[in-house]
Amino acid sequence: MKIHNVEQGSVEWQLLRAGIPTASEFDNLVSPTGEIRKGEMPKSYLHKKLAEWWQGGPLLEFNTFDMDQGTLLEESAKPNFTVETDLEITNVGFVTTDDGKIGCSPDGLLGESSGVEIKCPKAETHIGYLLAGGLPKQYVAQAQGSIWVTGREHWRFYSYRRRMPSLNIVVKRDEVFQKALSDALEAFLSAFEAGVARLCQINGGPPKRPTITPNPQPADMVGTTP
């Protein structure tokens, strides 16, 4: 496991996760019940990751107002989580496997054996989570995926809304799911490498990406002070 100390949402964070499968998107590869997905979903995900690799960065996406609000609420959710659980959150930007080919963006690590995923959904969504009382199925692959990438034994799912009860779920490592995820990721990386090779063949070589260089100072300004 490698920890990359970057700010989540920053340009550096976006570049690190571009072109590699990440836990928040593992649902494209494995269903909540642990079945390896077939058909258009994993194929479209492969194409997205190949497109990111080709252009050397993330595809253009727009954050919605709700997403921005959720991010802001997370900052108040973290201290609330610590008060409720007496667990200190270690903030990390991005985590990858040792080879850097697969990653995740935990909302925090907890000691040496766990981590946490924090959600601050709409009020009606949070109410639904509370009434259901378990890990929402759309986050099963993300939680198990974060365990897979980090090698942790379990994970926390924490849903938070101000002036409402919070939902705090301990997600245990599911070895059957972990095996399915390993197989799905192995197949994905194989298809990704084949896709890269084919695109380079079609292009007659690797993509020519623009390089950004700082604006040079005028010769008479170099080494001078105001």
Q: What is the mean pLDDT of each run of 10 residues along the chain (226 residues)?
A: 94 94 98 97 98 90 50 80 96 96 97 97 97 97 98 97 96 98 98 98 90 47 39
- The pLDDT of residue 60: 72
- The pLDDT of residue 226: 39
- The pLDDT of residue 54: 95
Residue 140, both tokens: 């099963």
Please give the Cα distance from 40 to 57 (Å, whole number).
23
Domains in the chain: boundaries: 2-221
**pLDDT tens-digit series, residues 56-94:** 898 876 554 444 454 557 778 999 999 999 999 999 999
Fold of 2-221: Lambda Exonuclease; Chain A (3.90.320)
Say what the pTM is. 0.87
